[in-house]
Amino acid sequence: MTISLKAEFEQAVGKRSHHFHGGLRLRHNKKISCQDRVGPPPLPELLVVPLLQHAGDISEPLVQAGDTVLKGQPIGQCQPCAAVHSPVSGMVEAIEVRPMSHPSGQPGPCVLIRPDGREQWVDLNPMADWQTASPESLIEQIQNCGLAGLGGAVFPTHAKMRDGRDRKTHTLILNGVECEPYISCDEMLMREQPGKIILGARILRRALGADRVLIAIEDQMSAVQKALTACPEFANSENISVVKVPAIYPEGGERQLIQVLTGQEVPAGGRPSDLGLVCQNVATAAAVAEAVTEGKPLIERYVTVTGNGVSHPRNLKVLFGTPVSHLVECCGGYTQDVARLVMGGPMMGYPLESDSAPVVKASNCVLALTQRDIAPPQAEMPCIRCGECARVCPAMLLPQQLHLQIRNGLWKPLEEYGLKACIECGCCDYVCPSHIPLVDWFRYGKGELRTRALESEASELARKRFESREARLLRLKQERAEKMARRKQVLNDKSSQQDRILASIQRAESRSRSKPGGQGSGSADDT
Amino acid sequence: MLISVLLLGVLGVAFGLGLGWAALRFRVDTDPLVEKIDALLPQTQCGQCGFPGCRPYAEAISREDADINQCPPGGDAAIRALADLLGREAKPLNPENGVETPKTVVLIDESRCIGCTLCIQACPVDAIVGATKLMHTVIQSECTGCNLCLPPCPVDCIEIVEARVNPPLWHRSRPATAVDRVVLQ
């Protein structure tokens, strides 16, 4: 199975140019934030570290208000998902519910840390011998360091790696295709730290047991290609290649990238590991290198602060928990005509209510837009069935159909029409001539489906428990009735009553006989 | 003439026996309609409909002894689904049975619990664990929020709390009609 998949893959890569369905060519707007070198902003006064920074459950806090923490010390744990670490040394001021930069916009528990400015690290536990270490110990180290996919979905890295290792992965794909306009944090990372990315790629490859690594970048990133291929780690590594792909949005999507590289489609409801592939973001690879060779947990990331609403757009290396307002200050503050703040890119990002929201593992970009960048609100018109949305949909869905089904509450056919395969890229939304907020409808529909599934699961459980309780009560009642009936029968039976009286007289006699002699008593007869 | 009458008669008896046997052999013990109705009810087993549990209520609906608007936890959604299934007109929830409220669960104040086991006996889904004169506690994930454990408690140590869901179950509300977009082309 694996061999045939691998052969198919070998045949596919590089022999013909593949493409995915639909997509859009968008203006990049990336240059404005790529002028300066990336540096860290000064330490903020207070860090607000949310306990939910990854796909999965909220972490349990490991610290209390008043505790002193060191840089890199675990402050939140969550068994199946990724741990949360303190980004600075300092004091825990409180654990309270605050806005946590989650796409839901809902507040959640955050650890408030006031830095002491000493930047004292906790004892780190690097793996100097990673080249000989077992894949499982590498994955464990990745898990302990709290790594999650830094491309935006923040899926716990160790879970993806375990799945990939168990499914016999042959190729690791590093995703450097940053297809969404304005965002340039991965591009800057690849230009400034190519060695770390290649090192991370080799560690990930070892942990997966894969043979080769493909680093995918956009065809406009010539500087990135130069940086990657020029670094000494690249020259020393075998079977690592840099592949350029045409810049079409949303090519940075995992499934779309795999389709472009190999011509193979990841099955609906399946994962890339079904094809023997694992896809990781380049920033994740760099973080893996730090986690394994230096023992450093994931406490910071590159963030693009850009848009016409910021005086001096650039990329920053930001500690998690830093408020967005602090980043904007480091970039010269807002311009006069700033109108909106977006976390993420213009296509998939979500508007921020306030700039006090913290940077988290998922934050790749802070986008400040002016009124010029935003089209005036248009009234929604009825769908005219033009089919543009279906033409651009990279998941090959029928957005117009899904939209009508959600509107009318047809939940059953909705699943058959593959709403779950929607990647919420926003292409359909962008081209719709009737200004229908399709992606908003799909997010609403997905939430409804999930709620419905959970509710029916819960009611099924309750039904089973109720039925088993009823059965148990019935059984107990029957048993009691039978017992009563037996006792009644014995009482009513005259002959057996006589027998029992005789037997007890005998017992008493034998006892009184045996007492003076001190011999063993006669056998008791219980009838 | 006689042959054909006899032949058809024999055939008739044979088929009759066959059908009779099949009716016994493949007999459906439960009413499939009850199953379908039961599947639409929320299974809180709270008894607010006036029946001792969701299944008895489902049976009553299928016998047309009960109306379809007597289930407060199911609310409007359940009434509409029942109306769809039974081909009846949907109607608002009967206020005599209660009002639709957000999902809650109960919590036992463990310092005040005296271990009387009365709530354990009242719980229709065995979601309370504990023993005589020992502390009781509610298994939150199994609690349906029926509140049947509240009346029997002699020390009033059970309180109603909002159901906590982890991971935070969020989803967007129905989208608004006016939209604006970022200009990129």
CA nearest neighbour of B180 among A103, A374, A295: A374
Q: Would A124 be classed as within a structural domain?
A: no
- Same domain? A299 vs A415: no
pLDDT exceeds cutoff 70 at A391: yes
Task: Kindly report, as residue ranges, where domains of CATH 1.10.15.40 are found in chain B.
Answer: 32-86
pLDDT the model gives residue A8: 62
Residue A115, pLDDT score:
94
CATH T-level fold of B32-86: 3-methyladenine DNA Glycosylase II; Chain A, domain 3 (1.10.15)
Same domain, A146 and A258: yes
How many Å apart are CA A180 and CA A33, to the nearest integer? Answer: 14
Structural domain contains residue A131: no
Task: State the pLDDT confidence band at B13, using cuts at 50, 70 and 90.
Answer: very high
Distances (CA, A) of A292 to A49, A131, A340: 23, 11, 39
- pLDDT of B30 higher than 50: yes
| Of residues A58, A105, A347, nearest to B167 (C-beta) | A58
Per-residue pLDDT reduced to its tens digit, A276-334? 999 999 999 999 999 999 999 999 999 999 999 999 999 999 999 999 999 999 999 99
Chain B positions in Cβ-Cβ contact with residue A380 (cut-off 8 Å): 177-179
Question: Nearest residue on chain A to B38, judged by CA atoms?
Answer: A463
pLDDT score of A128: 85
Is the predicted pLDDT of residue A525 greater than 50, yes or no? no
pLDDT of A524 reads 46
Residue A355 lies in a domain: no
Question: Per-residue pLDDT tens for B68-83?
Answer: 999 998 888 889 889 9
Q: With pLDDT > 90 as the criterion, what percentage of chain A qualifies? A: 59
Architecture of domain B102-167: 2-Layer Sandwich (3.30)
Lowest mean pLDDT among A42-51, A408-417, B122-131: A408-417
Residue at which a domain ends, from A422, A447, A472: A447
Is residue A527 domain-resident?
A: no
Residue that finishes a domain, picked among A427, A447, A467: A447
B4/chain A closest Cα distance in angstroms: 54
- B144 contact A CB<8A: yes
Among B41, B125, B184, beta carbon nearest to A26? B184
Average pLDDT over residues A26-38: 89
CA distance B81 to chain A (A): 12
Cross-chain residue pair B185–A376, CB shorter than 8 Å: no
Residue A6 domain flag: yes
User: Per-residue confidence at A373, pLDDT binned at 50, 70, 90?
Assistant: confident
State the best of A463, A469, A474, A477 to mutate against chain B, taking most chain B CBs within 10 Å.
A463
Identity of the residue in A435, A443, A461 whose CB atom sits nearest the CB atom of B172? A443
In chain B, residues under CATH classification 3.30.70.20 are 102-167
Output the pLDDT for position A52: 87
Q: What is the pLDDT of residues A202-213, one digit of tens each?
A: 999 999 999 999
Q: Which residues of chain A lie closer than 8 angstroms to B174, CB-CB?
A: 444
Which of A415, A447, A479 is a domain's end point?
A447
Rounded to the nearest angstrom, the minimum Cα separation between B152 and chain A is: 19
- In sign, the C-alpha dihedral spanning A364, A369, A372, A376 is positive
Contacts of A404 in chain B (CB under 8 A): none
Q: How far B93 CA lies from chain A's nearest CA (Å)?
A: 20
Nearest to B104 by CA among B148, B144, B142: B144
Residue A241 and residue A96 in one domain: yes
Could you report the per-residue pLDDT of A465-502, keeping only the tens digit for each? Answer: 999 999 999 999 999 999 999 988 888 877 777 888 88
What are the pLDDT digits (tens) for A330-352?
999 999 999 889 999 999 988 88
Q: Tell me, what CATH number does A170's domain have?
A: 3.40.50.11540
What pLDDT shows up at residue A6?
62
Q: Which residues lie across from A97 on neighbouring strands?
A: A109
Work out the mean pLDDT of chain A and round it to a whole number: 89
Query: How many cross-chain Cβ pairs, A to B, lie less than 8 Å apart?
Result: 117
A521, pLDDT greater than 50:
no
pLDDT in tens, A156-203: 999 999 999 998 899 999 999 988 999 999 999 999 999 999 999 999
Tell me: do A299 and A395 sit in the same domain: no
Domain with A101, as residue range(s), is 2-117+136-306
